[in-house]
Structures are given as C-alpha cells and as structure tokens.
Amino acid sequence: MITSAERSRYWTALLCILAAGLALRLLGIGWGLPGRNAPDEPPIHPDEHVSYDAAENLYRAPTPGAFIYGGALYTRTAYLVGSALARTGVSRDEHFPRTLFGLRLISVSAALASALLVACMARSLFGPGVALAATALFLTFPNTVLDSHYARPDLLMTFFATGALACACRVAVDGSRLFLVLGGLCAGLATATMLSGSIGFVPLAVASLEATATRRGRERVRQCATAGACIAAGGLLGHAAGSVESFIYWDAFRAGLDLAARTHQGGAYRFPADLLTRASGYAFGSVATVAGYAGLVLLLVKRRPGSVTLASSMLAGYVLLGRVGGDMMRHLLFVAAPTAIAAAVSLAAIGRSGQALGRPGAWLTPTLLLHAGAIALTLQLSLAYVLPMQFSEEPRYRAGAWLIEHGQGARIGVTLSYYGDRTYTPRFPPRSEFELVPLMMRHNFDASRYLDLPIDYVVTTDFARFRAKGSTAPAFFEELFSEMRYRLVATLAPPWQPLSVPDWLGSKRPGDLLYVRPTFYIFERRAREGVLARPEGK
C-alpha cells in the first residue's frame, strides 16, 4: 500500500525531472533560426523550411493537397501557429522565425507530454522507482533532446505513438475496450502526423492477444475480432481527424506514399548490426542502449502483464526501421519510450541482485546507483550537444567570419549536400565580396574537374567528406585532404566533446547530429611557386 508521503515524494521527484528536462530543451532553443544575416535567410535545419512552406501553402489554398511525411496534421498545426502570429500584426520579416520558434515549443511540449506517458506506463507496470528512472532516461536521450530544438513533426508523432503504447499496456492488464479505442485513436493521429506512426497499431494488437491469453476457442476468436474492430474504428477516426485531406485528395496522398517509399528504398543501415549498435548508440547513449537490450530480453522472459506488449513496440520499431532504412537519430524516436522503460527495468533487476551491497531499505542502494550512473552518462552526452547551441558560435558563421577575414574577393568552392541544399555551407552577411562556386556531391560528379577549377578556397565538412554519394567522391576528398593542390588552413570543430561517443561502433555519425555539430575544413589553393606559410595561429 502506497502512503500519501510516498506518493508526495514520487510526484515531487517527477516534477523535478520534468523541470530538468524542460531546461535541457530550452538551452539553445533559438539555434539556427533564420534572419541573423538577412530577413530571407533560410534556417540552418533544412526540414524546417519544408514545414513552413507547406503551411504557407494553406494561406493560398484552404485545403492542402500536399502532405508532409505522409500526414497533414503537422502542416495544419504549423498553419495555425502562423495564422495566430499573422493576426497579432507580426511583420513579414519576423513571421518566418517566430513561426518556427512556436513550432519548436510544440516539439518541446510533445517531448514532455511523452515523458509523462512513460512515467504512467512504467509506474503501473513496474513501480515508482522504475518510472522515475525511465522518465529521466527518456528526457536525457540525445535524440529526444536534439529533436526538441527543431520545427519538425517527429516528436508530435512520438507523443501520439507513445499514447497508443500506454493504452496498449492498460489493455494488456485489464482488457479495457475503451482503451483499445483510445489507443487506436492515438495511433491514427500518429499516422496523420507521420507515416511511421503506424507502428502504434502493433502493441495494440499484441495487447489484445495478451488480454485474451486465458480464453480458448471461439470465445478468444470473438474477443480478438471485437478488439480488432475497436482498434480499426479508433484508428480510422484518429487519422480522419488529423488528416481528412488524405481521403479527399487521395492521389496526392498516394504520391506522398510513393515519395516516402522511394526516399527510403534500400535504407542506409546495415540491419541489424549497424542499426542496433551505431544508430542506437548515438540516439540513446551506449550505456542506455545496452541496458535497453538487456531489458528487452527480461520483458520477454518474465512475461508480466504488459511486458510483451511493451517489448513488441520496441521490436516492431527496429524491424520497421531496418526495412525502410534511414540514417538519423530521429528515426529511432518511436522506440525511445519502450527503450527507456526496458533500460530502467534491466538496471533495477541488476540492482536487486546486488542488494546485499547495501542495507535493505537504505537510501543509497545499488539500484539507485545504477540508475543515477546511466542517467548521468546519458545526460552529459546530451549536454555536450546542446551547450554549444546556446553558448558557442555556430560553425557556419565561424567559417563565414574566417573567410571574411582572410578571403575577401576570393572565389570559394563550397561542397553542397547530395540533395543540392546549402545546409552545410558557410553563412555570410549580405553583400559579402565573394564568388561562390557550388560543388555538387552527387553520383558520378567529375572530381578532377572540381579540383581544376580556378578557385582560391574550398570549404567542405565532415558530412560531405564521409557521406558524399557516388564512386568519384572518395577520390575527390582523398586528393583534397592529401594537400597536394590545396592546403588545409582552418579546421572549425565543435567546442565541447562528450566523455564517450560510440565512434568505435562505426565511422559515420548520424546526419541530424551533424546539423548541430559539423566540422568545417577550409582549404587554400597552393601558390605555383611554392607552399605559402600558414597564417599564424590559424
């Protein structure tokens, strides 16, 4: 029986954890917003422009015929934020950054709301200690922290998918048909936000099987059929509420599905090795990742009510991601909630097995030490990412300032991404005296022609160096970094490094981590008569 004092301590601790999670997300919340150098300057994060442009279309067409990531719910949300700002008399120059800022606050709110759902699930299934640890882990995961700083639909989708999982856990315990419908509603809203939100239907189906495990024959078939109807009804209602346009503009919705399928065809993960090691290690931290896998095994072995449902969400997420591919920490957001709970469960199990190390009932127990250690290691990883967003000059502006100081009037070659955008190029004030030469890092580009161009400087990044596609890219960067025709005159790296980063698990860092932590390399063409002296201190 939980006493009122214990309940009060639990809620006090939970509120402190949520407050710390909020502070972690407000650090650097203004990172990369447009308008620093010019009113029409694009945001640093390329997807934020996509979200804003889709919402802008609603000013011209009240019903959208295009879909962001397959769903219209986030587009509608962005439109409402922009409309509210427009009615307050915000100028055109300020409308863009303020709309993005408002959408970022929605991402922050979705992350905190998802953390509350994690606490509810973990407490009902495993007790208050595991609930507090799981909530703290979820709020300190690098992918949930970083994505809270972007105007993107991923965390809103994660909130709805986590809501579906919470309902599924309730169904697995008591078989409630009301929560089947509510879970289906949440899963439908998740798919209306992003197509990957369909993962929310999996734990609901598993929960209905768990709830009817004691039934036999026709009775179980009848109850499963009823559960399926409840899930389908809720899902259809949720999707229609969030994206009725997908039914009205079926051709446009199908085109969005085709685009998503082509974009992820073949993927970028070597499933399962790369996905389960490098990608998860960066998204959750290596300690929490290993603990999460151990917890997944425990959930499947112990077979407590709701544990298989929780494990199914984690397993289905990895299978889906392994099939469609991708190479971003945000792609693992929909498994963040079950991973946090599984990690807390495994650490608690290890702590209980070592209970003899401390006095039973003492405050400083092995379980508490393990949870605190895992949270601290994950937290320092996220802090190393967000502190530069708040307190350090953005690398793109640092590269621009270096070139203004040393290369005014020069011809500068900049490597664009293989999408052709300027996500990883220096940022300059307007009317800077440069001639920029775009170097496209696409399939089968002519590397030798790029190096023969009459340009004074080449500016590239670790993103381009390790991720450029095409057979000629390695030869281009190998020759560039050999410093035969160009010499490296500046390396602008992130200022803070975490205590441990799982680089040993793979050579590539996730692309969305490189949004905020790119390394810029500036090369200067060598003079024909010999090697120029490197500028002092550069």
Alpha-carbon gap, residue 33 to 330, rounded angstroms: 20
Q: What is the mean pLDDT of residues 37-65?
A: 73
Which pLDDT score, from 0 to 100, does residue 421 have?
65
Residue 312: closest CA among 503, 510, 171? 171
> What integer pLDDT is reported at residue 270 of this predicted model?
61
Tell me the C-alpha distance between 101 and 78, whole Å.
11
Residue 229's alpha-carbon distances to 167, 222, 225, 532, in angstroms, are 16, 11, 6, 75
The residues, ordered by sequence, that sit 6+ positions from 188 with a Cβ below 8 Å of its Cβ are: 234, 235, 236, 237, 238, 239, 240, 241, 242
Structure-model confidence comparison of residues 447 and 202, the more confident one: 202
Distance in angstroms (rounded) separating the CA atoms of residues 114 and 518: 29
Residue range 257-281: average pLDDT?
68
pLDDT band at 459 (very low <50, low <70, confident <90, very high): very high
- Where is pLDDT greater, at 116 or 224? 116
The most confident of 117-126, 399-408, 457-466, by mean pLDDT: 117-126
pLDDT tens by residue, 79-97? 888 888 888 888 877 888 8
Looking at residue 469, what is its pLDDT? 67
Return the closest-CA partner of residue 515 out of 447, 467, 457, 445.
Answer: 467
| DSSP type of residue 325 | -
Q: Are 34 and 137 in contact (CB under 8 A)?
A: no
Report pLDDT for 355.
56
Nearest-angstrom CA–CA distance, 31 and 41: 14
At 465, is the pLDDT very low, low, confident or very high (cuts 50, 70, 90)?
confident
At residue 531, the pLDDT reads 40
pLDDT in tens, 400-420: 999 998 888 888 988 876 665
> Residues with Cβ < 8 Å from 132, sequence gap 6 or more?
10, 13, 14, 17, 119, 371
Element (H, E) at 458: strand 457-461
Strand order across the 411-416 sheet: 435-440, 411-416, 457-461, 520-525, 486-492
Average pLDDT across the chain, whole number: 83
- The pLDDT assigned to 205 comes to 94
Across 237-251, average pLDDT: 85
Most confident stretch, 150-164, 254-268, 351-365, 392-406: 150-164
Mean pLDDT of 106-123: 96
Of 113 and 362, the structure prediction assigns the larger pLDDT to 113
Q: Which residue has the higher pLDDT, 493 or 537?
A: 493
Kindly report which listed range (139-143, 206-210, 387-391, 512-516) carries the lowest average pLDDT score: 512-516
**Mean pLDDT within 136-161:** 95
> What pLDDT digit, counting tens, does each position of 277-317 carry?
788 888 999 899 999 999 999 999 988 888 999 999 999 98
Q: What is the pTM of this model?
A: 0.90
Q: If you average pLDDT over residues 256-267, what whole number do you get?
A: 64
pLDDT tens digits along 164-216: 999 999 999 988 889 999 999 999 999 999 888 889 999 999 999 888 877 77
Three-state DSSP at 530 gives strand
- 240/263 Cα distance (integer angstroms): 25
Q: How many C-beta atoms lie closer than 10 Å to residue 373's C-beta?
A: 12
Q: Does the pLDDT value for residue 40 go beyond 80? A: no
pLDDT in the model for residue 538? 38
Residue 11: pLDDT band by 50, 70, 90 thresholds? very high
Looking at the DSSP bridge assignments, the partners of residue 272 are: none
Does residue 4 carry a pLDDT above 50? yes
pLDDT digits (tens, 9 = 90+) for 520-533: 999 998 874 444 43
Rounded average pLDDT over 335-358 = 83
Q: How confident is the model at residue 73 (pLDDT cuts 50, 70, 90)?
A: confident
Which tokens sit at 344?
């807390």
513 pLDDT more than 50: yes
Whether the CA torsion 372, 377, 381, 383 is positive or negative: it is positive
Stretch among 420-434, 480-494, 515-529 having the lowest mean pLDDT: 420-434
Residue 454: what pLDDT?
Answer: 84
- Does residue 267 carry a pLDDT above 70? no
How far is it, in rounded angstroms, from Cα 119 to Cα 100?
29
Q: HEC states along 272-295?
A: CHHHHHHHHHHHHCHHHHHHHHHH
With cut-offs at 50, 70 and 90, classify the pLDDT of residue 364. Answer: low
Q: Quick one: CA torsion of 423, 426, 428, 432, rounded to 10 degrees? A: -120
DSSP letter string over 96-162?
HHHHHHHHHHHHHHHHHHHHHHHHHHHHHHH-HHHHHHHHHHHHH-HHHHHHTTS--SHHHHHHHHH
CB 456 within 8 A of CB 485: no
